[in-house]
Structure 1
Amino acid sequence: MRVLLTNDDGPLNDEFSPYVRPFVQHIRKNYPDWELTICIPHTQRSWIGKAHFAGKSLTAQFLYSKPDADDNSYLGPFIRPQLNRIDSKLPRDTRNSEISNDDIEWILIDGTPASCVNIGLHHLNSEPFDLVISGPNVGRNTSSAYISSSGTVGAAMEAVISGSTKAVALSFAYFNGEKNVDSSVVDLAAQKSMEVINHLYHNWNDGTDLYTINVPLSTSLKPDTRIMWTSIWENRWRAIFEGPDVAQLTNGSEIEDGVEGHLITFKWQPIFKNHKDSQYLAKTTDKDVIEAKMISVTPLRATFKKVEGLVGELSLNVKPNSNFFLITVNKQDYLYEPLVRAVRKYLPQLEVVSELPKEPKSVFHYGEYEQLDIDKLATEPTNYFANSYIYRKGLIRKHFLSHTIHSYVVKNPDSILSKAALETFPLELDYAEFLDDALDENWELRQELEKNDRWWIVKPGMSDKGQGIRVFRTIEDLQAVFDSFDEDGTDDEGEYFDDNKIVISQLRHFIVQEYLDNPLLLPSMGNKKFHIRCYISCRGALEVYVYNRMLALFAPTAFTPLKSDNFSPTDILDLECHLTNTCLQTKNEQKDISVAEFDTIPDLTEENKSKIKTQIHQIAHDIFLGALKVNAVNFQPLPNAFETYGVDFLVDFDFNVKLLEINAYPDFKQTGEELKGLIDELFDHTVHHLIVPFFDEGRSTTSSENFVKVLEYTANNW
């Protein structure tokens, strides 16, 4: 999430801008997924509204402070940025050894707060900002008199008007003229501010352009201080300047034309007049709420017009320091941003962290299987939740999946799996020279191969990314494949030339599967063979959901029917048009890789798309129910876990769907940048339908148009 921060009090300063440093430090520490850019006026610019210095060119300077500093010290100013920010548009000078990449960069503009926002939105980042925060302002911003003149609110308004960007204006209201308060009060104000801002961002009211927030700087501020929707107190003022004493200025004499005299000055001295209409005396204005030392939130249009309909108390459902979302995925990972964005949207009460705090009440952990605490997952079902089951090899190991399907079909011959599963045989082999013995033990497979009437695929039972996949027809072909695995895979110069090989002794379990030789071919996609990647999610023990936005992954070259006289089972290049796993395609072929959203393929009618999806839904229902019922040792769903699988399907010429394999922790980045919205929506559904119920036991799980529940299993209920 990209956030632009500005203010109207200027840079780090004990007197004029004492709150911005601890606020920025709080964001850096507690919201590590935020990419924060700070662009502020080079000096205090209060009482300036949404103004720009027309006709004036603005310049920038740069300050740097330490992320853990407890004072307002800094290095600079510099005329060039000193940090190497990849997302920045600015030219950089990164040779200063005193400044590290962890330091906080402050961009200073010799203009107004509104100008800082305009420059920030359009000239500082290569990617658009998601949110603008203006503040924290030193002092309150309440009432029409103050708000209409506030540089803090003016900057937030500029974000809306010039960038159509969500914005909040944040003010810290001090009392009795005491703006220098204990640091613990400022820290709590920063925490409460971010809880409110985070909630507002992920629950943005459609009629709102910006919010102005006032947080009381008082020892009465607590983690559970009430937050109230407010309107603007419409006060009025008369003269805001005191007039000059003419007699004193002229020394009692008349000033003639061209005669020098004292400068005429008007002293700043606002005189306010309260508006007496009863509609403004209701105790729900920003002034009333902040005087009661509660937090005020005022939703505004960019015309200073109050947004109607938001009244009463704003409940965040926050339980501080108790519930956490622990994400151990690398921040650069394809799924990190959409996942965190969805959590912030639906579970704002969860604090997103990268390390587990001490003694949390409950935590949802999203990470790779090896990063999860398996002991906690098994023994703490009420306070530790995770994105993976412990035992699921009955589905994700190819030879176990074959056993699951076979066992279920034997008991349920009418299941769609009886025709959706390609004929498959397990094969166990220690070394290539033992293939003949292995086939003697698997006489059914030997009989099929000796017929020499169809093509087959051999796959390691535990590999991924297409590793070790080969196509063959005869026992001699299969022997040649295994012999090639045992050969040295280097060229004359010692370079490894076939990274698709496997070591048989390390991957002893294989499956031999019928090859689909009549695939559905689509002229608009170059008549290339393709498979469908469908994301299927399980929750608890057991609900199953199919994500209806599916991918079609195409082979790099047009499909050519297999012929024995011109096909080598050991030549990886001969597999190009037959295997659709993009991991098998060489770097030189990347330009030919085609990944499309299934629904956008023009050759398929809506009727055929519906026919294909209906079969996928039925297969998903039966395969997960089958794993639960006939292979319960190897598939054990847990009430405190969910898991999303990448499930691959082939489609034949008659639109019959065939199940290929099921992959745990799928590689979402194969979707590509152009289709990233598909993954964004997937994680939005995932958090909404699968993760939220872990923290809201009363919430029922439902389907949506693109996230369809296909199975809800309860014990003793088939």
Structure 2
Amino acid sequence: MHVLVVNDDGPPSQQSSPYIHSFVHELRKSGASVSVVLPHAQRSWVGKAHFVGKTIVPTYFRPGTLYTDDGSTHDRPRLDGGEEWVLVDGTPASCTQIGLNHYFQEKGPIDMVVSGPNYGRNSTALFSLSSGTVGGAMEGALCGKRSVALSYAFFNRNHDPVIIRSASLMSVRLIKYLHANWTPGVDLYAINVPLLEGIDKPERKILYTHILQNRWVTGCSFEELEDDEADKSDTGRREAEIRGDVGEHEHKHLALKHKKFIWAPKFADIHRSVEESGPGNDGWAVAKGYVSITPLKANFMHYDGLVGQELNINAIESMGSLLLKAGPQEKSSCWAVVGYEDAYVQPKIQAALKKSIPCIKFASNLTEVPLENSEKVVHWSTYESIDFESVLQRPDSIICCSYIIRKALIRKHYLAQTIRQHVTKHPESPLSKAFPLACDFELDYAEFLDEALIETYELCDSLRANEEKSGKDRQWWILKPGMSDRGQGIRLFGTKEELTAIFQSFERAEDSGDDADESNEDQGNNKGTSIVTNQLRHFIAQKYIHPPLLIGNRKFHLRTYVLSVGGLKVYVYKRVLALFAAKMYSPPWKDSQDLTGHLTNTCLQSGEREGSVRLFWDLHASLPGGTLTLETVWGNLCKIVAETFEAAATGQRVHFQTLPNAFEIFGLDFMIDTDTNVYLLEVNSYPDFKQTGDKFSGLIEGLFEGVVEVAVTPFVGLSGVGGGVDDLVKVLDIGLGSW
């Protein structure tokens, strides 16, 4: 195999190019024929550029001792046949072109181009799109050669020869494997190898990844220079500095004058985006110490979400996006009525709309919007504030954030009926095992409980059987009011006597005008969760999931945000939350009255909630099977979401009516048992986003940005510039028509 090696760091240097010599040495030892063309100096961050109009003049480098800087550069090639590399005063892409077409013909055709190893990682879009290393490999792919962009992610500046050699051995092994097993359709691979001890060992994890889409968010990537700072223009030293820089740089805002600038990007943006991302991307893999391989195409790949759509240039001009003809006095024709009445949520919605639709204007209600023209309106408000009459009358002009009827999902007793009917028709459905057995009934007063339970055969049989069993051997049940939320009215019971006592406690509180939890000490530490029975009437009794999966001996559930668009596309937000109970878990037979170890609703927790909200993808270290377990749970969760919405849409058309000009965010809650089975607990409309807290507020901001991109911008006729789309995974797409 004949391999052309290029890079963007230049010839061997402990300061700016410490890995190239080791890699070439190990590649040659593996039996490959290796030819090397490098820039004569540091050429990082130039992408796939060429210097137009510049005459390229080569020099010739003779490598010295491994891991030292004793190589030498000469104006003319050597005549004795010894090892020699070509240096050119051009870019990495130019090195590829010159190496492929003007040198080394006597060695035979070049089979592969390897660009690197780069001094530092090239993961995430911010690194990759500017990378000279990726540019060199991209040029090779465009010349018809199988190409690899290779980067070493360092975690300190101790260039340990043992670790560098391990990385080179791993890289050579990967390159030879990829060459022999090239995937059809892939033009090049981007490989990131962490510089960790034993990285070449067989047990080291290697993952195929995608590029994390991130952006600069904290400001300018250039720093002003004073005249006495000219020494900072040493590009080799600057590359070594900024690769590890995660700090902030002060910017001065001065009057217009002559200035100089130096490249000083703020890598805190990149590190933050990696920390907040879910698994599967290149940045995440490298941060975990995994080798990352990203298959790429050698082009600016099209975005599937736009393919097949018509570009209505006239509509875009009228929207004020291009403003080819519009003057400064022309009014915006895209409006938003945002009335969420929540200080945590409202500004995040407005920011997401502004980010994707810069021309948008805000109104307090629909009467302020001139609907007689071609205006588009985003009506994003509380359910009670939405003008559904206008939404129905103007389906081409107004999009709103809620369907009118969706109780087949959001009311617990309807959800139980929806799933029961679907499973009866489709016994192979994942819902047959993913929704615990539930019996629904109606009750006004405790004295009529016997009559209410007449048709709840499974529940009655279980309660009778429990009478003869000890608490540990009983099948425990959880009582849920069909139309309550925030943990209201939830209780545990194992016998009919206990169920009767629960309803009697509700009535005593109603009669006395006090909280049910205060009027009956036997109900334990459940303050704030009482209800009035005859006002709700609808209840379900559902099998209690035991034993639940515990982390730190605390029970938790998964809060998953789901976007439903039109009629009907369903997306699951990949950035799932794990919400933990306030107290350590104790089985229900030990204390069924104190629910603080059983209920994971963070809204019920007072005071500090440290550790009660965590990111699902961060739980890998606490679970058997680690990331593989999380990926399995995620896959099953997506299947359950798709099946649940399909069950409502196809089997409950009266109680779940979609609208073509509506979208809605639901909060779905899931539980995991000790066998990592996933169970759907409930579906919430207008979920409580505040429970995410300030620490993970970026998660909610990303959700709203994705919702705007997926649901809103196509409706108003724009392709937005926001983010979050990669984290919204489509799980269902069925055509239901307008209703």
Normalising by structure 2, what TM-score? 0.52
Shift in Å at residue 384 of structure 1? Answer: 1.4
CA contact (8 A) 1:490 1:496 kept: no
Shift in Å at residue 673 of structure 1? Answer: 0.5
Write out aligned runs for 1:607-686 (5 A).
607-686=628-707
CA contact (8 A) 1:489 1:496 kept: no
Query: Which position in structure 2 is the counterpart of 1:339?
Result: 349
Q: Does 1:419 align with 2:430?
A: no
> CA 1:225/1:705 → structure 2, altered by over 3 Å: closer, same or farther?
closer
Write out aligned runs for 1:320-469 (5 A).
320-330=331-341, 333-356=343-366, 357-360=368-371, 361-452=375-466, 453-469=474-490
CA contact (8 A) 1:529 1:558 kept: yes
| Structure 2 residue runs without a partner (length 5+) | 1-216, 221-252, 269-316, 467-473, 519-526
Q: Quick one: distance in 2 between partners of 1:593 and 1:153?
A: 50
Q: Which SS does the other structure have where 1:405 is aligned?
A: helix
Q: Quick one: distance in 2 between partners of 1:226 and 1:661?
A: 42
Q: Which SS does the other structure have where 1:639 is aligned?
A: coil
Q: Quick one: distance in 1 between partners of 2:554 and 2:397?
A: 48
Query: Which position in structure 1 is the counterpart of 2:735?
Result: 714
Q: Does 1:603 align with 2:622?
A: yes
Q: Deviations over 1:250-287 (max 9, x none)?
A: xxxxxxxxxxxxxxxxxxxxxxxxxxxxxxxxxxxxxx
For the pair shown, the structure with the greater C-alpha radius of gyration is 1
Write out aligned runs for 1:122-137 (5 A).
none
Aligned residues: 419
Q: Quick one: distance in 2 between partners of 1:370 and 1:481?
A: 32
Shift in Å at residue 641 of structure 1? Answer: 0.3
Q: Which moved more, 1:645-654 or 1:484-493?
A: 484-493
CA contact (8 A) 1:322 1:362 kept: yes
> CA 1:374/1:494 → structure 2, altered by over 3 Å: closer, same or farther?
closer
Shift in Å at residue 151 of structure 1? Answer: 7.0
Amino acid at match of 1:531: H
Shift in Å at residue 414 of structure 1? Answer: 0.9
Shift in Å at residue 442 of structure 1? Answer: 3.2
CA contact (8 A) 1:556 1:592 kept: no
Shift in Å at residue 694 of structure 1? Answer: 0.8
Shift in Å at residue 594 of structure 1? Answer: 0.9
> CA 1:495/1:445 → structure 2, altered by over 3 Å: closer, same or farther?
closer
Q: Which SS does the other structure have where 1:546 is aligned?
A: strand
Query: Which position in structure 2 is the counterpart of 1:511?
Result: 540
Q: Quick one: distance in 2 between partners of 1:393 and 1:493?
A: 30
Q: Quick one: distance in 1 between partners of 2:502 and 2:633?
A: 34
Which of 683, 692, 696 lines up with 2:717 in the alignment?
696
Amino acid at match of 1:390: I
Q: Which SS does the other structure have where 1:341 is aligned?
A: helix
Shift in Å at residue 378 of structure 1? Answer: 2.2
> CA 1:503/1:225 → structure 2, altered by over 3 Å: closer, same or farther?
closer
Query: Which position in structure 2 is the counterpart of 1:309?
Result: none
Q: Which SS does the other structure have where 1:440 is aligned?
A: coil
Query: Which position in structure 1 is the counterpart of 2:120?
Result: none
Shift in Å at residue 614 of structure 1? Answer: 0.3
Amino acid at match of 1:440: I
CA contact (8 A) 1:595 1:671 kept: yes
Shift in Å at residue 347 of structure 1? Answer: 1.1
Amino acid at match of 2:735: T
CA contact (8 A) 2:319 2:359 kept: no
Shift in Å at residue 548 of structure 1? Answer: 0.5
Amino acid at match of 2:577: L
CA contact (8 A) 1:435 1:479 kept: yes
Shift in Å at residue 693 of structure 1? Answer: 1.0
CA contact (8 A) 1:485 1:502 kept: yes
CA contact (8 A) 1:534 1:646 kept: yes
Shift in Å at residue 161 of structure 1? Answer: 11
Amino acid at match of 1:583: C
CA contact (8 A) 1:424 1:512 kept: yes
Which of 569, 577, 591 lines up with 1:543 in the alignment?
569
Q: Quick one: distance in 2 between partners of 1:225 and 1:475?
A: 63
> CA 1:457/1:317 → structure 2, altered by over 3 Å: closer, same or farther?
farther
| Structure 1 residue runs without a partner (length 5+) | 1-128, 133-149, 166-222, 229-294, 296-312
CA contact (8 A) 1:318 1:349 kept: no
Q: Deviations over 1:359-383 (max 9, x none)?
A: 2322111111001001112222111
Query: Which position in structure 2 is the counterpart of 1:471?
Result: 492
CA contact (8 A) 1:227 1:314 kept: no
Q: Does 1:484 align with 2:502?
A: no
CA contact (8 A) 1:536 1:645 kept: yes
Shift in Å at residue 584 of structure 1? Answer: 2.8
Q: Does 1:576 align with 2:596?
A: yes
Q: Does 1:594 align with 2:618?
A: no
Write out aligned runs for 1:282-293 (5 A).
none
CA contact (8 A) 1:460 1:511 kept: yes
Q: Quick one: distance in 1 between partners of 2:439 and 2:597?
A: 24
Q: Quick one: distance in 2 between partners of 1:425 and 1:527?
A: 30
Q: Quick one: distance in 2 between partners of 1:406 and 1:633?
A: 16
Shift in Å at residue 354 of structure 1? Answer: 2.5
CA contact (8 A) 2:709 2:725 kept: no
Amino acid at match of 1:516: I
> CA 1:401/1:318 → structure 2, altered by over 3 Å: closer, same or farther?
farther
Query: Which position in structure 2 is the counterpart of 1:44?
Result: none
Q: Which SS does the other structure have where 1:459 is aligned?
A: strand
Q: Deviations over 1:338-370 (max 9, x none)?
A: 222221111122212333324232211111100
Shift in Å at residue 316 of structure 1? Answer: 11
> CA 1:163/1:503 → structure 2, altered by over 3 Å: closer, same or farther?
same
Q: Quick one: distance in 2 between partners of 1:591 and 1:404?
A: 35
- Give the 4+ runs in structure 1 shifted more than 6 A: 129-132, 154-158, 160-165, 223-228, 313-319, 489-496
> CA 1:629/1:676 → structure 2, altered by over 3 Å: closer, same or farther?
same
> CA 1:638/1:450 → structure 2, altered by over 3 Å: closer, same or farther?
same
Q: Quick one: distance in 2 between partners of 1:654 and 1:598?
A: 17
Q: Deviations over 1:468-525 (max 9, x none)?
A: 0001101001000000000137999999844311000101000000000111112xxx
Q: Quick one: distance in 1 between partners of 2:653 and 2:558?
A: 27
Query: Which position in structure 2 is the counterpart of 1:191?
Result: none
Amino acid at match of 1:368: T
Q: Quick one: distance in 2 between partners of 1:654 and 1:462?
A: 31
Q: Does 1:533 align with 2:559?
A: yes
> CA 1:545/1:319 → structure 2, altered by over 3 Å: closer, same or farther?
farther
Shift in Å at residue 337 of structure 1? Answer: 2.3
Q: Quick one: distance in 2 between partners of 1:326 and 1:155?
A: 46
